[in-house]
Amino acid sequence: MALNGPGAGRDQRIREAAYKVAEAALSAPGLDELYARIHAVVGELMEARNFYIALLDAGAGLLRFPYFRDEVEPETPPPCPLGRGLTEYVLRSARPLLADPAVFQRLVDEGEVELIGPASVDWLGVPLLVGGAPIGVLAVQSYSGEVRYTEEDRDLLVFVSTQIALAVERRRTEEALRESETRHRAVLEALPDLLFVLHRDGRYLAVHSQEPGKLAAPLETLLSTRIQDVLPEEAAGTWLSLIADCLSDGAPRTLEYVLDVPDGRRTFEGRIVPHGEDAVLAVVRDITERKRSEEALRAAEAAVVRLADNMRDVITETDLAGVVRYVSPSHRLATGWSPEELVGRSGLEMVHPEDRERVRRELGHDVRERGSGSSEYRYLRRDGDYLRVETVGNLLRGGDGTPQGFVYGTRDVTSRKRAEAAVALLHEVDRKILSREPLASIFAFVTRELVRVLELPLVWVGTKEADGSVRIYAPAGSAEEYARGLVVRWDDTPEGQGPVGHAIRTRRPFVLDVATVSAPGLAPFRDRAISHGLRSAASIPLVAHGEVRGGLIAYGERPETFDEGVVGLLSRFADQLALSLVAADQLSRIELWNAALEAAANAVVITDREGRIEWVNPAFTELTGFTREEVVTLTPRVLKSGVQSDFYYEQLWQTILAGNVWRGELYNSRKDGTIYVEEQTITPVKGPSGEIHHFISIKQDVTSRRRSEERIRYLALHDPLTDLPNRRSLEASLERIISRARRGTVSSLLLIDLDNFKVVNDSVGHPSGDQVLVDLARLLSSDLRPGDEVARLGGDEFVILLEGIPTEVARLTAERLRKLVDAHRFRVGEKVFALSISVGAVPVDGSLDAPAVLSVADAALYTAKDKGRNRVVVFDSAAWRRTGVSEAGTWASKVKEAIRDDRLVLLFQPIVRIDSGRAAHFEALLRLPGEGDELVAPARFLPAAERFGLMPELDRWVVKRVLGILRERHGIELFVNISGASLGHEGLVGEIEELVRQSGVAPGRLAFEITETTAVSDIGAVTEWIRRLRDLGCRFALDDFGIGFSSFGYLQSLPTDFVKIDGSFIRDLEVNAANRALVKAIDTVAHTLGKETIAESVESLEAIPLLRELGVEFAQGYALGRPSRELP
């Protein structure tokens, strides 16, 4: 839409718009400002809020938008390829376009355009033409029907577009020139070269230099001078000549010269090209550093040549076909081949046939493909052997980068490969030893592998034997037949003069050229070796810890086989092999120790210094319930029960951290939570410098032992039958009460004995009698205070300690107990017994010691029994001394104590067979220990024992002890005295029968002596006693015969084996004819009844002939032997 109508006014505006565009092109500081002013000019002609300029970048094929203002699409579009938009349509057609929606749709239908961006109502665009060619598009557009463009608007825009196109193109050209000038100036400023424009006559027309120090004269003076004025004559002449030649034919010229300049002597390189008809442009470059580098390179190349000529590694150059062009002189040293022999030949000719194809691929194809490569292979020596070599190859390229050939570096790795193989072999040997393979198998492996690795014809191992011989193990190689039947020694014998014996004796490696062997006696060895193709030998001693254990023996097919490297390799291997053999021995011991630890009954724990568990044996698992896997890395605190204090463990750690062994007991907890007692020893393990690095703990479960000990302690203080405290416990308690009494607290003691207990034992036997005692113990304990103590002294005797109870109260307690027992009925099976107790009560007031208190109690008890039993008698010390039973009671107490404490003593007196004079029997005589070493004779204590019914216990003790002696001492016979009280004890004979049977002693070795008076007092009971024991095999003697009321008729009634003639008839036998007659009569009757006689109390040897004459077989008395503790 036009802003004003047609006419002169419009023309004026068009001219003003054209003027403003031209003015903007001249005055706008840049393109962006120019575009903005053009937008303003167009806006004065028509509505142009939506306005853009699009310019074609023909070189890049892009459409750029240097100026873009749009109220719907505010973002400037990025450069984009030419498409099918309205802008591109105007570019293609080079014609203006006013497109309303109808026109746009028609163009779309015709395929000329497509919708790009927001749809507009009117779009008006005109091409920007320069020289008839479009360089861009200027466009306005509206998005509503309120603003519509007309053909007049189009014409106005077309008119001003010509001015706009010229203004834009001119400013773009100016900008491009400025940018080009800036770039060239920047390049020129950055260029390090010297630039000269020189006239034909040598005058400097222009000079450029960033480094004035490289100019022959100051910059400001050069423009007024000529070359010949500033350069040396020779250099100036060269310059002028080359300038003339360059201007003559137009071809560039180059030169190189040396010139002294302010920066010093420098070398320059110049290039001259025509620059008009009479001038040239010269570019001069300082090449001083390059020349120095080239010199250094030439020196380095010379050094490389010298290195190649002298190095051990071989450098080879080939063409692409592998034909050798160059090989370094070191090739001769390595292989024996000269370089001249290899040049012109294929390098593959010297490669082992088996390796050739692989080498062709790795050093040919792979290097050509990748530029480098490597290979390891066997290479032929002139002498026919093969080296093991390693080659690295690189592709050689020409100046243009095309492949020209190959360069190879080759190194002899035979020794290295041998060493690597030896190391691998040693590792394998170690593995085999650790795997516990047999040594013979290991030797075979070693010799076989050494033959392979060192390419030897024979290797074997020899062990040094104690007899001077060398035992050959595992010969291997093509010449192993040589070792079969070979006799080798290491001692100083003819067979010991070979390499093996020499190496073992001298403890040093020995190398031998077989052909030079001349020692006497070794000719067969030399000839045999040569016949097997062996030309050299090396023997390496196997030395470990200073001991030669044998030798490693190798043979070669050439005299020079065993050079220094091979011998060193064998020596290294021999040393390691010797150490490995020692290690094998040590490993065997370690495995034995480990097996012992594994099988040990005691638990073993190994921890580190911090106590972390590293190993336990199976016994640990059995002890604790924890497996090895469960406790490793834990500490023994996992077993802590909490029973013992932390202080206890602190003391333990202080001990072991000080380096000392700790021994003690710990209460620990098993995995299932049960507490057990272990006896433990912890030993620190120290390193060479004394530092502790481990602890070893050995544990033993002592729970059962501890319980047993506790049980033993308990049993030591308690009666096993009734579980009451025993005499020992009672004495300790009594001592405590006496001490308290001396501090003022009086107590009492009750001594209780079961009346007529013999009736129970005789009726139902001792086991049932024991049940009565248990019942009585329970009955007594049930009627006492909690603090009162009931103890069993033995047999049917009990003691009650009433602590803090005076005598009167104690008497009442005793009466209550007596009545309780009297009313009680003791049931044993189907039998019922009504029993009573006698009680002796005494005060404990501190006036008497414990034995005296018990003696007073015994006296009171015996008084109660004397008075008819089933009663309580109270004695104090004064009353005890006033009674007639005081001495007898004392002896009775001593006898009971001796029986209980097993302190009675037996003496043995020989009974000698008169005809041989040798002891045939011994009589066991009872004694009671007195003060010190005193032994009390029976006459002093037996009356009290008989009075208080202790004889059966005494006789039982004697029989037990005698049976024990007979069991230990074979070939002797013993006589034992039996009291009358025991003969009336029905249960005792059964006990003795059982004791004899259980002892395993032949019953005939045991004889019982019965006094004449005892036998006569109850001949029926005595006869039954004798019958039972004689049926068992025991023998009997009638003692003290002749002094009682007996008659010879009793001899016939009593089934005895011996008659002992009383000593009253023997003592004066030599002078008393009546006694001789009586002895003769007794002997005659006894012999008639089949009994042998024994004369007692033989106190002189003069009686022996008379006794022999009278026919007596045996004699006993001081003249023949006094009683002694020891049996012969």
The DSSP call for residue 674 is -
pLDDT in the model for residue 789: 94
**Residue that is last in its domain, among 291, 321, 339:** 291
pLDDT in the model for residue 1098: 93
Tokens matching residue 662: 């700790």
Is 1125 within the bounds of a domain? no
Is 890 within the bounds of a domain? no
pLDDT in the model for residue 707: 78
Q: Is 794 exposed, middle or buried (CB count within 10 Å of its CB: 0-12, 13-18, 19+)?
A: middle
392 and 503: one domain? no
When divided into structural domains, the chain yields a total of 7
CB 641 within 8 A of CB 669: yes
**Residue that is last in its domain, among 128, 150, 183:** 183
**Residue that is last in its domain, among 852, 883, 914:** 883
388 and 429: one domain? no
CATH number at residue 404: 3.30.450.20
Domain residues for the domain of 818 are 721-883
The separation between CA 292 and the C-alpha centre of its own chain, rounded to angstroms, equals 66
CB 567 within 8 A of CB 511: yes
614 and 484: one domain? no
Is 302 within the bounds of a domain? no
pLDDT in the model for residue 663: 92
Q: Give the pTM.
A: 0.39
Contacts of 623 (CB under 8 A, 6+ apart): 603, 670, 676, 678, 699, 701
Closest C-alpha among 453, 465, 561, 581 to residue 514: 561
Is 984 within the bounds of a domain? yes
Closest C-alpha among 449, 680, 733, 690 to residue 569: 449
Provide the angle, in degrees to the nearest 10, between the axes of the packed helices 31-45 and 8-27.
170
CB 359 within 8 A of CB 349: no
Phi, psi of 95 (to 5 degrees): -130, 150
255 and 222: one domain? yes
CB atoms within 10 A of CB 18: 17
- Residues 167 and 34: their CA atoms lie apart, in Å, by 8
Is 917 within the bounds of a domain? yes
460 and 372: one domain? no
Contacts of 232 (CB under 8 A, 6+ apart): 259
422 and 407: one domain? no
| Block mean pLDDT (10 aa), the chain, length 1128 | 50 79 79 86 88 88 90 89 90 91 89 84 90 89 86 85 80 72 55 80 85 80 84 88 90 88 86 89 84 75 60 84 88 86 90 92 90 90 86 86 89 80 77 74 85 87 87 88 84 81 87 76 76 88 85 87 83 74 66 66 88 89 91 91 87 92 90 90 88 90 78 79 90 93 93 87 80 92 89 90 93 94 90 92 92 86 85 78 60 82 92 92 94 89 82 92 93 92 78 92 93 76 87 92 64 86 88 88 88 93 92 94 91
pLDDT in the model for residue 304: 58
CB 798 within 8 A of CB 780: yes
As beta bridge partners, residue 395 has 406
Phi, psi of 173 (to 5 degrees): -65, -45
147 and 248: one domain? no
Tokens matching residue 194: 């010297």
CATH number at residue 1035: 3.20.20.450
Is 244 within the bounds of a domain? yes
703 and 737: one domain? no
Is 889 within the bounds of a domain? no
Is 279 within the bounds of a domain? yes
- Residues 230 and 210: their CA atoms lie apart, in Å, by 19
845 and 750: one domain? yes
CATH number at residue 158: 3.30.450.40
1002 and 1098: one domain? yes
H-type helices in 435-553, by residue range?
Answer: 439-454, 499-506, 523-531
Contacts of 687 (CB under 8 A, 6+ apart): 693
H-type helices in 986-1070, by residue range?
Answer: 986-999, 1012-1017, 1019-1032, 1048-1053
621 and 586: one domain? no
CATH number at residue 807: 3.30.70.270
551 and 686: one domain? no
